[in-house]
A and B are shown apart, each in its own frame.
Chain A
Amino acid sequence: MTLPIHWNDPLVQACCWSVLTIGLYLAAKRIYRRWHQWWQMPLAMAPALLIAVVLYFQVSYRDYYQATSWLVALLGPATVAFAVPIYEHRALIRRFWPLLIIGMVAGSATAVLTGWAFSTLLGIDGSLRLSLLPRSMSTPFAMNVSKDIGGISDLTAIFVIITGLLGSLLGEFMMRRLPLRSALARGAMMGVAAHAAGTAKAHEVGAEEGTIAGLLMILVGMVNVVAASIFTVLR
């Protein structure tokens, strides 16, 4: 007897991969909440298992992505959602905005300079080195900047994800180690260094941290896109 369902049907694939992805995410979230080990974080454990599945069944990433790209597209409306925490904490932002701007400029400059310096030190050059520079911004901005300065935007997208992963993993450790007095500094650190992944982590720590991180993530992206387009015009 044959089932009337075909595995190659794109709709079936979309359902299966989406259910698997969401299921692994929810499972990782539960496990992380229970035991709280860094490698159980949803952004570490779920993708690791997915990569294992994709490699084991020799599925091409293209097929997987086609089935689940709708989840990535949901990041767009998430940006709109940031209006709410920003509105609710507007008094804090109005009071401290010069601090936030200074932190953002310092952080962005560090991101570009360390990207360049460490790459040069390890012998990475050319377009690969350029692709590493916008890694701390969120994906749509980073891909734009990468294209403007002569990088490879596909690779930049991957570097952005790795940065977000490392940033949110390092976040808790850094918050414990650095002598930080303010929620402002903790939020700025996560938003400037690790875009939306860092912001999600910052929201776990506290509402103020999360708001500042979200605001700075957006600002970093916008300022850098403008800076990169000025750079291309000048060149």
Chain B
Amino acid sequence: MSTRRITIPLRRRFHRSRLAQIGLLFMVWWAGEAAVRLLGFPIPGGIIGMIATYSMLMCRRLSISSLRRGAEWYIGEMLLFFIPAVPAITEHRELFGLIGLKILAVIFAGTVAVMSVTALTVDIFYRWRMRT
């Protein structure tokens, strides 16, 4: 009884605290990175962490409310983490000429093609699936 009296308010605070939940995400990520390094897998540790978190959610070891706030904030602000990587272009002056324009054209045309093919394929199969 006495332990419940302590753990329940603590849990409630954790469910409300975005910062504590972000801390938990960090711990899981760090553990994933450690596991990857130890086992020598060629995949990022975050993926291992994600699979572990998903499994814990599925077997009810972890409740969704102890991660939801933190995860939603984190995913919402994800674009910020890309920004410092973009000025890397200034290091590659060779890309500023004609070759850069060509590469840009390849990426542009390629991305339009990938988007169209993926979206239309999924959508066609979706309609077919909904009809049957």
Q: Which A positions have Cβ atoms within 8 angstroms of B?
A: 21-22, 24-25, 42-43, 46-47, 50-51, 54-55, 60-62, 64-65, 68-69, 71-72, 74-88, 96, 98-100, 102-104, 106-107, 110-111, 114-115, 118-119, 122-124, 128, 132, 135-136, 139-141, 144, 155, 157-159, 161-167, 170-171, 174, 178-182, 184-186, 188-190, 192-194, 196-197, 199-200, 203, 210, 214, 218, 221-222, 225, 229
Closest CB in chain B relative to A17 CB, distance in Å:
8
Those of B51-78 within 8 Å (CB) of chain A: 51, 53-54, 57-58, 64, 67-68, 70-72, 74-76, 78
Chain A contacts for B83, CB-based, 8 A: 21, 24-25, 42-43, 46-47, 50, 71
**Cα A79 to Cα B80 with chains together (Å):** 15
Given contacts A107-B117, A110-B113, A192-B118, contact A225 B42 (CB under 8 A): yes
**Residues of A close to B28: CB separation below 8 A:** 77, 80
Roughly how many angstroms separate A80 CA and B29 CA in the complex, as a whole number?
6
Query: In the complex, which residues of chain B have a beta carbon less than 8 angstroms from the beta carbon of A88?
Result: 64
Whether B25 and A114, one on each chain, are in contact in the complex, defined by CB atoms closer than 8 angstroms, is: no
Contact of A102 among B106, B113, B122 (CB under 8 A): B122
Pair B114/A192 contact, Cβ less than 8 Å: yes
A192 and chain B: residue at smallest CB distance: B118
- Decide if B84 touches A64 in the complex (CB within 8 Å): yes
A114-B81 contact given A51-B89, A106-B121, A124-B102, CB 8 Å threshold: no
- Main SS at interface, chain A: helix
Which residues in B have their C-beta under 8 angstroms from that of A166? 107-108, 111
B interface residues (Cβ-Cβ under 8 A, vs A) = 22, 25-26, 28-29, 32-33, 42-47, 49-51, 53-54, 57-58, 64, 67-68, 70-72, 74-76, 78-92, 95, 99, 102-123, 125-127, 129
Write 26 A-B pairs (CB below 8 A) sorted by A numbering: A50-B87, A69-B84, A76-B45, A77-B26, A78-B46, A78-B74, A79-B29, A80-B53, A81-B25, A84-B68, A84-B72, A87-B54, A88-B64, A106-B117, A132-B110, A135-B107, A166-B108, A174-B116, A174-B119, A185-B118, A185-B126, A188-B118, A189-B119, A193-B118, A196-B78, A221-B47
Residue in B90, B104, B121, B129 whose CB lies within 8 Å of A162 = B104
User: Number of A-B pairs whose CB atoms are under 8 Å?
Assistant: 284
Give the CA-CA distance A162 to B87 in the complex, in Å: 11
Bound state CA distance, A80 and B21, in angstroms? 12
Known: A85-B75, A96-B129, A107-B117. A77 touches B99 (CB 8 A): no
Q: Which of B51, B74, B86, B118 contacts A81 (CB 8 A)?
A: B74
Judge whether B119 and A225 touch: CB under 8 Å.
no
In whole angstroms, what is the CA distance A157 to B84 when docked? 12
Q: Given A81-B70, A139-B85, A161-B88, 17 other A-B contacts at CB below 8 A?
A: A61-B91, A65-B85, A83-B54, A85-B75, A87-B57, A107-B118, A110-B117, A140-B44, A167-B115, A170-B112, A184-B123, A185-B126, A193-B118, A196-B78, A200-B79, A210-B75, A229-B42
